Amino acid sequence: MANQVILRFENVVFEYLHKKPILDEANFNVHTGSKITLMGQNGAGKSTLLNLIKGEQKIKDGQISITNGASIATARQTINRKDFQKTVEEYFTSSFEITPTNLKSEISKVMEIVNLAVPTDRLIKELSGGQQARLLLANALIQKPDILLLDEPTNNLDKNGIDHLIEFLIMYEKTVVVISHDADFLNCFTDGVLYLDIFTKKIETYVGDYYSVVEEIQNRIERERKKNAQLEKLIKDRKQKVNFFAHKGGKMRKLARKMSNQTAELEENKIELRKEDKTIRDFIIPAQEDILGDIVVIKELKIIQNHEPIIKKVEKILNRKSRLLISGPNGIGKSTLLRTLVNNKSEKAKIMDDVKVGYYSQDFATLDYEQTVFESLESVSADGVDTQKLRAVAAGFLITGDLLGHKVSYLSEGQKGLLSFVRLVLMQPGLLVFDEPTNHINFRHIPIIAKAINEYKGAIILISHMPEFVQEIKFDDYLDLEKL
């Protein structure tokens, strides 16, 4: 049974726009009980592929086969905003056409599996990002699917949450297809990789753990590069001889034609080298200069203990060059503190007037999904930023001209993250407020982002669950909400 193919793509073609395919004759098989990672750079179509598996979008050509009508459930990257007004129980209920009679019992089981302890009458909008991430997984599990699709499941999870998820996936007996940029997480349970190449629009299949597959891909690229180098040398040599013999008469000219044909065959034998995933360019976030004195004053904040809010006294003052790292487990109130500051909801936690705030929200709440990408960038650009500079900055973040006319809602989650960084560069803020800025971001971009944040000349407040990212940024102040 373990070797039975449960999911098959045969010559699948899919496109959003005419003659601009996301998939071009894609082929792969997934076997029952396997744990498969889906790789590919931001915008390659990984989330789209999950939608196709689920049957939520129609292919243009080819065939997708699900063996014996296997059931499928997806834990998406984020909860739909229209669901924020639902309670936890209502959210679970919405997954069923007919509400099971034992729903409360099933909710209790899946919440225990994902280590989520919140009242079921709690509104989803009141949950932290980490709690929402657990809820997404629990909501998929309650459907008891034969194929579980996970789209960036570690986003917003703290270390305990990630460890718990790894343990669950290792023990899980059914089929899993997962998208993630967290290499260490993937390597713990992956036994195969589907690589979606954004340039060829094909899907390549690899067997092995995540790090072995990445090494295999790199070795293959190196072999292809060496083979092409040898062919290039041979082709160059042949062309020189063809040119020499072509100017001779009789048999020499005939030999030149023969060698020319052989050279053409060599050209055809050259391997089309895999283009490396593009990486964003190095960038600088300019800081607002006309700031004097204190920028942020926090005298009091609210944390959550045993599902109840508790007021805590603190004394934090940030000036122009201050860097504050906020930590604590999921659900304790980290994101709530940032929203309170940015939205000016408390006199006890306040950003001073005239400070331009660059806020990176983990749920992209600062983005208007109905604006075009160009309008989103233009709306935050500082004085002196013209259209040419806007386009140049956006291109450095792989937000190219063909994307600028699309609505923000068209972008992948990873592209929304990069768009948010473009906005920060164009805004030239005096204070950067980051809530999990590595969520959805390709791991190749993260060192460049960390470098830019570390070199920023203004004040910084940061929340991040990624230790290797945090250690690249120098902080001079810390606020651990769990220790208050």
The pLDDT, as a whole number, for residue 236 is: 78
pLDDT score, position 259: 66
CB of 328 within 8 A of CB of 482? yes
DSSP string for residues in 420-471: HHHHHHHH--SEEEEESTTTT--TTTHHHHHHHHHH--SEEEEE-S-HHHHT
Residue 43 backbone zone (phi > 0: left; psi -120 to 50: alpha; other: beta)? left
Q: What is the pLDDT of residue 301?
A: 94
User: Residues 369, 371, 373, 376: what is their CA dihedral angle, to the nearest 10 degrees?
Assistant: -100
Amino acid identity for residue 312 in this structure: K
Considering only CA atoms, which of 274, 284, 292 is closest in space to residue 39? 274
Report yes or no: 158 and 108 within 8 Å, Cβ to Cβ: no
Report the distance separating Cα 155 and Cα 129, nearest Å: 8
Rounded Cα gap, residues 400 and 381, in angstroms: 17
Tell me, what's the pLDDT at 28? 94
Distance CA 289, CA 293 (A): 12
- The Cα-based distances of 70 to 106, 128, 222, 296 in angstroms read 21, 33, 40, 54
pLDDT by residue for the chain (484 residues), tens only, comes to: 457 999 999 999 998 877 778 899 999 999 999 999 998 776 788 888 999 999 999 999 999 999 988 999 999 888 888 999 999 999 999 989 899 999 999 999 999 988 898 999 999 988 888 899 899 999 999 999 999 999 988 888 888 888 888 999 999 999 999 998 788 888 888 999 998 887 788 898 988 888 888 788 778 777 777 877 777 777 777 777 767 666 666 667 666 677 677 666 666 655 555 555 578 999 999 999 888 889 999 999 999 888 888 999 999 999 999 999 999 988 899 999 999 999 999 999 999 999 999 999 988 999 999 999 999 999 999 988 899 999 999 999 999 888 999 999 999 888 999 999 999 999 999 999 999 999 888 877 999 999 999 999 999 999 998 888 999 999 999 999 999 9
CA distances from 58 to 76, 177, 202, 406 (A): 19, 20, 18, 21
HSE-CB for 421 with a 13 A CA cutoff: 31
pLDDT of residue 251: 67
Domains parsed from the chain with CATH numbers? 5-71+145-214 (3.40.50.300), 296-483 (3.40.50.300)
Asked if residue 255 lies in contact with residue 245, where contact means CB atoms within 8 angstroms, the answer is yes
Give the pLDDT confidence score for residue 467 in this predicted structure: 87
